[in-house]
Amino acid sequence: MKKTLELHDWDAAEHLHDNQDIVHFIEAALEEAPDDAAFIASVLGVVARARNIADLARTTGIARETLYKMLRGEGNPTMGNLSKLAKSLGFRLSLVPIDGNGKPAKSKPKPARKAGKPAAKNVA
């Protein structure tokens, strides 16, 4: 008798149980394809499904149909709508400088000041 392997659709949204799961999911996606807008939109779509699209529409003030279009990579979402969506998901948008190789530039740590000494003022 042959055994039949039964396969089921896998939906990442079903495995995003808390904010930490969502943060790791988005960070992994941004590392994988930081410049692929359609991929990032689909990742945000997964997160939106995990959070409930209707709730996101209510908290962002963005129409549900507009959210669906944004998250399917359709249309051309405004920066304002992207910012509202990110904030509703617990994130903020930011710009990060890149080096000549297209990778995020490493910031130089600021030297620590000694306690009790005020910073020198530049007097002209």
Structure confidence by residue, pLDDT tens digits, 47-105: 988 988 899 999 999 999 998 888 887 777 888 888 898 888 888 888 888 877 766 66
Region of residue 38 (left: phi > 0; alpha: psi -120 to 50; beta: else): alpha
Among 15-19, 35-39, 105-109, the range scoring the smallest mean pLDDT is 105-109
> Measured between alpha carbons, how far is 101 from 58 in angstroms, rounded to an integer?
41
Q: What is the pLDDT of residue 42?
A: 83
Count of alpha carbons within 13 Å of 119, Cβ hemisphere only? 6
Q: Is the predicted pLDDT of residue 117 greater than 60, yes or no? A: no
Phi, psi of 30 (to 5 degrees): -70, -30
Cβ burial of 92 (10 Å; 0-12, 13-18, 19+) is exposed
Tokens found for residue 70: 């944004």
Q: Supply the mean pLDDT for the chain.
A: 82
> Measured between alpha carbons, how far is 110 from 79 in angstroms, rounded to an integer?
31
Q: Is the predicted pLDDT of residue 115 greater than 70, yes or no? A: no
Q: What is the pLDDT of residue 24?
A: 93
> Measured between alpha carbons, how far is 91 from 87 in angstroms, rounded to an integer?
5
Place of tokens 């998250």: 71
Q: What is the pLDDT of residue 85?
A: 87
